[in-house]
Structure 1
Amino acid sequence: MRDALKIAIIGGGSSYTPEIVEGFILRYAQLPVRELWFVDVEEGKHKLEIVGNLAKRMIEKSGLPIEVHLTLDRRKAIENADFVSTQMRVGLLEARKWDEHIPNKYGVIGQETTGPGGMMKALRTIPLLLDICKDIEELSPNAWLLNFTNPAGMVTEAIHKYSKVKSIGLCNAPIGLHKWLMNKYDAAPEQIYTEFVGLNHLHWVTRAEIRGDDKLAELLDRKEEYSGKNVPASEWDADFLRSLQALPSYYLKYFYMTDIMLDEQLVSLKENGTRSEVVKRVEDELFKLYQDPDLQEKPKQLEKRGGAYYSEAAVNLMDSIYNDKRDIQTLNVMNDNIIDFLPKDACIEVNCVITAGGPIPVGLTKVPEHIKGLIHAVKTYERLTIEAAVTGSKDLVLQALVHHPLVPSVAVAKMLMEEMLEKNKAYLPAFFK
């Protein structure tokens, strides 16, 4: 790899962009970024210019020789890139609003990556990502694609299945948990080891060791948790948590506490609107701040978004690949034989050793029997959804919805399918030939 890197960020007009710019500034000594290309679509041009100008001010303040380019020409950004990072939202926050609202209408969890809402996001996103992969294959075949676009596991699996691009899926939840443990136990990153088992937004931590001491029982006993800004912090049942023998991702509340979470969503919907409408208000505030010509750093308010530490996860990964660091990170990668009851080409979320040749998944020491069924059921739904996104098959959409644990019946699945596909017609040409 070269000693003057070119990095393309697709979805550069995102409110998260200052995070990743800060990451590149802080890591410059290890990761010599020379060109930073931010690319967006016409609808995102206004935001790209605002956030891009803030990025330029941040770089200028740092005094580093990093060139910042803003463009709507995706191919120009991708050409000869060493790393391509995706942080897109097809349909913007307006599409997310309906992903959350329509399921709620039918008494189903409405969430942007979990359940029917996550399915619609996947159907909109996968075809576009595969299109981007064609450009990468042609213009920068040796580049690494780091996919942060949700639902990250499904998108990454689709890329592995239908393109030749070297792709890794990323999520901020594992690094967020580590930050929480560092703070809780006053521990350095290298003093913490956690074993993750499962899928993106459907993982369990089966080992949590601080300075070599197993703290899992203590963490489960105290009912303490790391939670994201985008998931309400309802408390777990103490008996259930202890008997689970693993620390569940906060997204698992949608499966284990469906009634409570749905009630919270419906109350929140009445009082504040959907989560996407709350995020829109946060984003409006952020972009107002970003326009201030005197602002030269990432504002504190960015932490109100659900993707805290995302840039750290992305920049960590680039640094480790570039420098062949052989450290351990939790990523979305192909299963091979790591989880023996899933297909080899299924995408899973597990610990990996990061080398210059990419991530090598680490074998698991514990997979509790009682979590296998849920992993298998959700993976079945994910694989059906990926095929539906590629083929435009309504039959596969129906089967995926019916087999999702949060959808109660065929009748509800059919109503959800018809209304949600119709609402997304502009983004789903394959379904409306």
Structure 2
Amino acid sequence: MKLTVVGGGSTYTPELVDGFARLRDTLPVRELVLTDPAADRLDLIAALARRIFTRQAHDGTITTTTDLDAAVDGADAVLLQLRVGGQAARQQDETWPLECGCVGQETTGAGGLAKALRTVPVVLGIADRVRRANPGAWIIDFTNPVGIVTRALLQEGHRAVGLCNVAIGFQRKFAAMLGVPPADVHLDHVGLNHLTWETGVRLGGPAGKDVLPELLSGHGEAVAADLRLPRALLDRLGVVPSYYLRYFYAHDEVVREQRTKPSRAAEVAEMERQLLALYADPALDGKPELLASRGGAHYSEAAVDLAAALLNGAGAPHQVVNTRNDGTLPFLPDDAVIEVQAAVTREGAAPLPVPSVDPLYAGLMAQVTAYEDLALTAALRGGRERVFKALLAHPLIGQYAAADRLTDQLIAHNREHLTWA
């Protein structure tokens, strides 16, 4: 099979290539195409990718091109991992919201909206070209904000599934704590992308014993430290929120920290500089340890499982993905994109039934879903008032004066990416 990675010049790519090499029995890749407008980075990444394949005795070919149409021609699946505006745009997303006392983050709040406005039109343009080249190809989206981007793709009728590494990261950590293989851990994972809760940790599958109470009792301090939330909060909730919930549960604390520390964007930019230097070493034939700090850990395993299930019916039978709600969470619209366990086959992703959701989480999900609907409308149609309404609806903002000021800031910092501005 032929797979294409759009954004193949990303420093993430060796993580993905390592997974393709190790898990070739699950996903036999004949040709891997890396495409990116940054030709110099593309050549550097591809050279390392070929060394990884060679080291692991993978006989697939790795090709590169800056021509998107050539890259997607004949592809069975196209993986999207692009960043419109690069790290410079991310640095802005994480800083100017702080001037209004709001969290600066690249996937939620005002920064997340800015990224959605830059990204959605570009992704839809790519998807149209994929459909023209191969109407049967699957699009696997890892591009943030995954929920909004995936909703845009599905709304336009594309064969798309969104993917995030939060759930697989929890699965691996919980398995290590419990001393069992990761495959034995099934998460009752519910929410929206970057707004999720683990409401159960089951051994053996969806019907297995829920050991979340024991996990919190025996390892609550370690889980809380990893999330940077108080252990007492986890005990009171009885669930494990994703680390993105800290932006909601400890908003003011996060803002104070962000105002006194270097941005995550600055840290990542420095990591990328170091990673590219490492990748340039012709002796390097595996992913370096530093890559684990870059973000996207276990992305390759999740991507392989998802692609294998969509393309050949292999991979894990149940996977956490971003897909249409279609009644799974009755308090959300059918066309909302939710992040839950799903049965993934060649036909797509069908969410598994979800038990009744506590209003504490359902209310926040509903509010963020309403924001995402407004954000997608703003991304597709533009206009200052649409941006303002999306910001006003976001639970991390919600005040008209802040939303008004943030609207002007967002447009000023992103004018080159907004055709309507």
What TM bracket, shorter-length normalisation? over 0.9
1:392 aligns with 2:385: no
2:364 aligns with 374
Selected match of 1:241 from 213, 234, 237: 234
1:413 aligns with 403
Residue 283 of structure 1: SS of its match in structure 2? Answer: helix
Residue 10 of structure 2: SS of its match in structure 1? Answer: coil
Give the 5 Å matches for 1:20-419: 20-41=16-37, 44-162=38-156, 164-210=157-203, 212-221=208-217, 222-224=219-221, 233-236=227-230, 238=232, 240-268=233-261, 273-325=262-314, 327-419=317-409
Q: Is residue 217–residue 242 contact of structure 1 (8 Å, CA) maintained in 2?
A: no
CA distance in structure 2 between the partners assigned to 1:369 and 1:277 by the alignment: 37
Selected match of 1:422 from 395, 412, 415: 412
How big is the shift at 1:225?
A: 5.6
CA distance in structure 2 between the partners assigned to 1:235 and 1:244 by the alignment: 12
CA distance in structure 1 between the partners assigned to 2:71 and 2:312 by the alignment: 23
How many positions carry a matched residue from both structures?
A: 416
How big is the shift at 1:12?
A: 0.3
Q: Once the two structures are superposed, what CA deviation does each residue of 1:50-102 show, in whole Å capped at 9, x if it has no partner? A: 11111122223333321111111001011110010000000000000000000
> Given the superposition, is the C-alpha separation of residues 185 and 378 from structure 1 closer, same or farther in structure 2, using an over 3 Å criterion?
same
Residue 220 of structure 2: SS of its match in structure 1? Answer: coil
Residue 397 of structure 2: SS of its match in structure 1? Answer: coil
TM-score by length of 2: 0.95
How big is the shift at 1:358?
A: 1.6
CA distance in structure 1 between the partners assigned to 2:133 and 2:393 by the alignment: 39
Q: Is residue 178–residue 215 contact of structure 2 (8 Å, CA) maintained in 1?
A: no
How big is the shift at 1:347?
A: 0.3
Residue 429 of structure 1: SS of its match in structure 2? Answer: coil
Q: Is residue 223–residue 236 contact of structure 1 (8 Å, CA) maintained in 2?
A: no
CA distance in structure 2 between the partners assigned to 1:76 and 1:201 by the alignment: 33
CA distance in structure 2 between the partners assigned to 1:157 and 1:226 by the alignment: 31
Residue 390 of structure 1: SS of its match in structure 2? Answer: helix
Q: Once the two structures are superposed, what CA deviation does each residue of 1:231-257 show, in whole Å capped at 9, x if it has no partner? A: x8423251x323323211110111111
Q: For structure 2, which runs of at least 5 residues remain unmatched after alignment?
A: none
CA distance in structure 1 between the partners assigned to 2:197 and 2:54 by the alignment: 42
Residue 88 of structure 1: SS of its match in structure 2? Answer: coil
Paired amino acid for 1:67: T
Q: Once the two structures are superposed, what CA deviation does each residue of 1:341-366 show, in whole Å capped at 9, x if it has no partner? A: 11101100000011121211101024
Instruction: Select between 390-399 and 184-193 the one with higher mean Cα deviation.
Output: 184-193
TM-score by length of 1: 0.93
How big is the shift at 1:321?
A: 2.4
How big is the shift at 1:307?
A: 1.2
Q: Is residue 328–residue 353 contact of structure 1 (8 Å, CA) maintained in 2?
A: yes
